[in-house]
Amino acid sequence: MRPDLIHYMSVYAPRTSPGAHVYTVHDLIHLRYPSYFSWKVPPYYRLVVGPVARSAQAVITDTAATVPDLVEFLGVDVAKARVVPLGVSSEFVLDDAARARLSAEARTRFSLPRPYVLYAGNRRPHKNLRTLFEAWAALGDQSCDLVLTGDEPLDHDAARLQPQNGKLYLVGELGQSELIALYAGCTAMVQPSLYEGFGLAVLEAMATGAPAIVARTPAMLEVGGDAVESFAPKDAQELRALLAALLSDASKRERLRAAGRERVRAFSWDATAAATAKVYREVLQ
C-alpha cells in the first residue's frame, strides 16, 4: 500500500522515495565546516541529502537561520522551507526551590566547591571550546571552575589553559537528571559554538534557570533572543568580560534567569508537534 505522505526525520533517507515526502534537515554543519568531519560526508550530502531535499514537498528545519544554508548547499527552493522550532522537555523547567535543591545535589555529586561555568555538548572542533578555555583562563583571581560534558579528546594546548583559582572537571556523558542538576547550579552555561542549527542546550539551560551565554551566531540568537548574553565567536576577551560580570553580579544572574525562563515558554514539544502536523496538512491538500 502506497503511503500518502512519508516524513524522513533525519538526513538518513532513501535517495528515491515511493511517495510524496517531507524531509527534516536540522543543520548543515557538515557542509559549512567540512574539514571537521570525515571525507565521506560531503559525497553523501551531494548524492543523497541534496536530491531528497530538492524532491521533497517541504523541508523542515529548526530555525530561520538555517534556511539560507538549505538554499546554498542543497539547492532547495526557499518556498519549500518550513521552520519548526524544537521544544524543551518539562523535566528541565525548575522553580527556585527545585533549582536550589538540585544545585546542592550537583555540588555534592561532582565535588564542586567553587562557582562553575558549564559547557554541555560534544567536543568537536566547531564547538569552539578553545575560545571558552582562553576566556576562562583569563579570569585571573576570580574563583571559577569549568565543567565539560562529553567524552571526545580535548585539544592538549587548550586543556593546559587554567586560571590560578579554577579547576577543570570532565564529567563525561551524563544522564538527564545529572545534566539538569549541573545546569541548576552553574553560574553560567556557555555555548561557544561557531555554528548551530538550533542550540537545544541553550533552551534547556534557560529552562532550569541557568544564565546563558552564547556565541553570536544566527541560530543561537534566534533561539535565545534577549534572554542571553552573547559574544563574537572567537573573541575570548569579550567572553571573559561576560563571565567576570556574571561571577561578580548576582542581580545580573537573576535578570538572566528570569528572562530565560520567560523565553522558553515559547518553546514546547507540543508546539513542535502541532507545527509539524500543519506542514503535513499543507502538503496533503
Domain boundaries, the chain: 6-87+268-284, 90-266
Is 163 a residue whose pLDDT tops 80?
Answer: no
- Give the homologous superfamily in CATH for domain 90-266: Glycogen Phosphorylase B; (3.40.50.2000)
Residues 6+ apart with CB under 8 A from 170: 148, 154
pTM above 0.95, yes or no: no
Q: What is the pLDDT of residue 140?
A: 83
> What is residue 50's predicted lDDT score, i.e. its pLDDT?
97
DSSP secondary structure of 58-114: EEEES-GGGHHHHHHHH---GGGEEE------GGG---HHHHHHHHHHHHHHHT--S
Query: In 3-state terms, what secondary structure has residue 199?
Result: coil
Give me the residues paired with residue 119 across strands.
148
Q: Give pLDDT, residue 198.
A: 95
The reported pLDDT for the residue numbered 169 is 93
CA-angle at 39, arms to 84 and 219, nearest 5°: 25
pLDDT of 158 over the 80 cut: no
Q: For residue 107, give the C-alpha cell.
A: 555540588
Q: Mapping DSSP to helix (H, G, I), strand (E, B) and coil, where does residue 40 land? A: coil
Cβ distance 15 to 30 under 8 Å?
A: no
Residue 56 and residue 69: Cα distance in Å, rounded?
Answer: 16
Q: 26: closest CA among 223, 250, 224?
A: 223
Angle (deg, nearest 10), helices 200-208 and 250-263: 120
User: To which CATH superfamily is domain 6-87+268-284 assigned?
Assistant: Glycogen Phosphorylase B; (3.40.50.2000)
**The three grid cell numbers given for residue 59, joined into one nine-digit string:** 523541508
Catalogue the long-range contacts made by 66-71 (C-beta closer than 8 Å, 24 or more residues apart).
66/25, 66/26, 66/27, 66/28, 66/197, 66/219, 69/27, 69/28, 69/31, 69/32, 70/25, 70/28
Q: What is the residue-averaged pLDDT of the chain?
A: 94
26-60 per-position pLDDT tens digit: 999 999 998 888 889 999 999 999 999 999 999 99
**SS3 category, 6:** strand
Tell me the C-alpha distance between 216 and 238, whole Å.
11
d(Cα 3, Cα 208) in Å, to the nearest integer? 41
> Rounded to 10 degrees, what is the CA torsion of 59, 62, 63, 68?
-40
The span from the CA of 141 to the CA of 220, in Å, is: 30
- Asked if 189 and 210 count as a contact pair (C-beta separation under 8 A), the reply is yes
Where residue 156 falls among pLDDT bands split at 50, 70, 90? low
Q: How confident is the model at residue 217 (pLDDT cuts 50, 70, 90)?
A: very high
Same fold, 6-87+268-284 and 90-266: yes
Query: What pLDDT, on a 0 to 100 scale, did the predictor assign at position 218?
Result: 95
Q: Tens digit of pLDDT for each residue in 96-132? A: 999 999 999 999 999 999 999 999 999 888 999 999 9
Question: Each residue of 38-53: b (16+ CB within 10 Å) or e?
Answer: eeebeeebeeebbbbb
How large is the average pLDDT for residues 57-82? 97
